[in-house]
Structure 1
């Protein structure tokens, strides 16, 4: 194999191994969808509606903390070491959930698992963005999103298989949870063999090591050129030695953080995770029996994976901004249809099939446009010195909103019904479209260093020229 072939093979290895963190992210957030009904049985954890919400959303609260701490830790110790630590936390918290003897232990272990999920949601995209060539960064980073939805699909499939074949077993939900321990082991041993991010190495003055890493994943001339670009950018930023909250007083940095928080919130207020966490319950409320709902929910997972493939392909063809707008228009329209039809057709035999069709349509827009763009833009927009802090802060907001939706969604279903709940999400969708249209710049086709320079120059040039740049 020639040198170019070796470099591509090594880069593919980096992508496959590191995105196991995304697979774990997806499986651990999706598995609760089918496990909750079995946990709720009287001879198990004896869950009521409140404790069901706590079991589901405790992971999300932990993820908010994990996203915040993970960003800082990855700046301090390195992206690779952070992913190694997270793999260990994934494993032991999964074991804790599997053998939880009480609801208290379950909630505590789900919270710890959430810290791992949140840390992975920050660190893996950052690691991928910093290892990727500029012209392939979009497709590479969004492969983590593909692994997330693949993890959710695997969770839905295993939930359906175990729920339909072993539904009479009092411990079936424990088997559902235990499966996540295997990719955690693979992630740990895989990451041991991978290098650190060259951009992080430059930030720690390990220039020779950084250049050696680039030579393993780039052509020789590209490695030298990229190394010089990274080093030049870092030298310019030497006055921001360690990122702190005082950096948020700098207008251009504050603008980036504002945009990051907005992007994160936009992804969540579509209500996507109400379907990913409670899809089985939504289908049951629409009229399906439990086993049929478990099987029907697999369709949501399949379309998520297929749509993510499409999204990765589209990122190489069109800009982030128009893609995000198209996705939001699609999801918002679908939410309105769910609200209208669930009211008009309440109690009819056709309603469960219509709701399943609409949730599949919703996820096609969400996973094919909104989610890939979200994680890609969050990994792109922050400058080197504040990348970990910026990702941590913005993804913290993402998980907090996710937690609030996860906790309140079953309450809304119970108190105001399926139709009104989705009208609320429709209103959020209109707000999201407005934010993207008015505030979000384009980032496609620029290196991370060029993006930083554009943000620094914001407001110093005429608006027309600025539009061309970003």
Structure 2
């Protein structure tokens, strides 16, 4: 056999080395570990993304200091108040005696800053995600993999407790027009409750940001090589399932009312709480055990995961990779200045950035207000929101097959081209006010996003970086994604106020730029060795 060695810090690895697993299939332990991790972290993250969008019609007046059931300014909010609280918006003689029906509109010159304040709970979530993504590698390095996941769950449990408290200490459940004493008494704990809301959302975001790093790396560590792309895609799948279920729970027939929205945003903490106990039933990452020089424990973990006693070849491969890793500087600084990792890092950052600058979270964070603005009324808004979640789930399930069938590069590049055209058409149809066409284009955009930009930014960094550099690379990539998410969350409402339908041009430009860069610099990584991938950039 002809060997062409490549040198990695004085370690010689055959260029055509191929790891052969004795049991490249699902086992009961692998299924259990994947379900526990994704249900208690990824699924929770999805609910935290999908739910608040439905509750904004109640949270916004609540934060402004108007918590009573009839104090709503959107058509959707007033419809819920009419149906569930018998609010009468037609008889003007009932209105504005004490301000019960009155939610003052912000002056034109103050609307951008008011939109920013209204979105502050979402901004806190994405800021927390940014922090969690950047710091994820440190939890990953200094704790075991399971301990790092456990910490992310604890953050969500605390967040859920704080969320429950918010509406218990500051609420306006009174039916009928309240007297002045009731109003004063209701507002007494307002500032403390709002503070709890923001801290809760920050911790939920922090948990979500950590999950994108520690959960995906754990899933990579326990997966056979030929199944890594598929198993890591389950992270995105359960985010999407959680997003849809968060939207369903937010329906007014369930918890989507002005006196129950805090439970709609806190129930998901039960999954994290249960996960805090179940996580200890999972095998520890074999790779971490090798790093900690616990070879016998690593062998036991692999036998449990593979349900096979013939694990020496895989264990030896892990030891060889970790021997290489211990010889390198694995800090964030070193990866940023290393010429070898320049293009892997830039393409990973671009993927995570365009995932947000494609405009996806302008849909999932603000679809209720967007659908109302383009002509959907009353309960039709809810069905429009649910349609986005359903199409997202269907397309994500399809991506489980497509990501291994077509590879990573085609599922990123070709959908990006179509998304650019969709954004241009959205500008046109928003301006001429065609609600059905707008919803159809939005659903098509979500489907295209779900098959590529949804899962691949989590898979790609794990395939283009050496084992030792993955924690730092994932932290940088996730930080870039959450930072761009923060920018979109902060400025989207203000930009939509200024540019109206032409706001989608911003997403069109960002997708075009990403397409150009990735066309020339993103290699195909499906079933390729690291040496083959790196040859693309040479």
Instruction: Tell me the TM-score normalised to structure 2 length.
Output: 0.78
1:245 corresponds in structure 2 to 333
Q: 1:269 aligns with which of 331, 347, 357?
A: 357
Is structure 2 residue 457 aligned with structure 1 residue 438? no
Within 1, Cα distance between the matches of 2:395 and 2:155?
30
CA contact (8 A) 1:23 1:150 kept: yes
Contact 1:283 1:355 in 2 (8 A): no
The structural deviation recorded for 1:287 is 0.8
1:386 Cα deviation from its structure 2 partner: 2.1
User: Does 2:142 correspond to 1:59?
Assistant: no
1:298 aligns with 2:389: no
What runs of 5+ residues in structure 2 fail to find an aligned partner? 1-21, 69-102, 107-113, 171-192
Report which of the two structures shows the higher radius of gyration computed on alpha carbons. Answer: 2
Q: Are the equivalent residues in 1 in contact too, given 2:128–2:209 (CA < 8 A)?
A: yes
The aligned runs of 1:74-223 (5 Å cut-off) are 74-100=140-166, 101=170, 102-160=193-251, 163-164=252-253, 169-218=257-306, 220=308, 223=311
Of 207, 231, 235, which aligns to 2:319? Answer: 231
Given that 2:155 and 2:204 are in contact with CA atoms closer than 8 Å, whether structure 1 keeps it comes out as: yes
Deviation per CA, 1:233-261, whole angstroms, max 9, x where unpaired?
22123222653523433221343222221
For residue 98 of structure 1, report the CA deviation from its aligned partner.
3.0
Structure 1 residues 118 and 311, CA gap change in structure 2 (3 angstroms): same
Deviations 1:130-165 (A, max 9, x none): 1111111111110110000101000111112xx256
Which stretch of structure 1 is more off in the superposition, 251-260 or 261-270? 251-260
Aligned residues: 445
Aligned partner of residue 156 in structure 1, secondary structure: helix
Inter-CA distance 290–410: structure 2 relative to 1 (3 Å threshold):
farther
1:273-303 residue CA offsets vs partner (Å, 9 max, x unmatched): 1101111111111111243212210000001
In the superposition, the TM-score normalised over structure 1's length comes to 0.89
RMSD: 2.3
SS in 2 for 1:44: coil
Q: Please give the alpha-carbon distance, in whole angstroms, between the structure 2 residues aligned to 1:158 and 1:363.
A: 21
Aligned to 1:284: 372
| Greater share of helix | 1
Distance 1:247 1:146 in 2: 30
C-alpha distance in 2 between matches for 1:198 and 1:359: 43
Q: Give the corresponding residue for 1:381.
A: 464
> 8 Å contact 1:97–1:106 — kept in the other structure?
yes
Report if aligned partners of 2:163, 2:265 keep a CA contact under 8 Å in 1.
yes
Match of 1:31, SS state, is helix
Other-structure match for 1:393: 476
> Matches of 1:166 and 1:67 in 2, distance apart?
30
Separation in 1, partners of 2:525, 2:23: 27
The answer to whether the 8 Å contact 1:256/1:455 transfers is: no
- Whether the aligned pair in 1 keeps the contact of 2:523 and 2:536 (CA below 8 Å) is no
Query: Structure 2: how far apart are the matches of 1:383 and 1:138?
Result: 16
In the alignment, which residue of structure 1 is the partner of 2:487? 404
Q: 1:221 to 1:248 in 2, by over 3 A?
A: farther
Structure 1 unaligned regions, length at least 5:
464-470
Deviation at 1:310, TM superposition (A): 0.6
Task: Name 1:466's counterpart in structure 2.
Answer: none
Which string of whole-angstrom CA distances, capped at 9 and with x for unpartnered residues, describes residues 2-23 of structure 1? Answer: x979971111001111112110
Q: What per-residue deviation string (whole Å, max 9, x for no partner) do you get for residues 430-470 of structure 1? A: 11211210111111113xxx32x4466676xxx5xxxxxxx
Distance 1:54 1:166 in 2: 22
Distance in 1, Cα, partners of 2:532 & 2:143: 29
Aligned residue number for residue 33 of structure 1: 53
Asked if structure 2 preserves the Cα contact closer than 8 Å seen for 1:203 and 1:385, the reply is no
Query: Which residue in 1 is equivalent to 2:502?
Result: 420
After superposition, the Cα gap between the structure-2 partners of 1:222 and 1:379, relative to the gap in structure 1 and judged at 3 Å, is farther
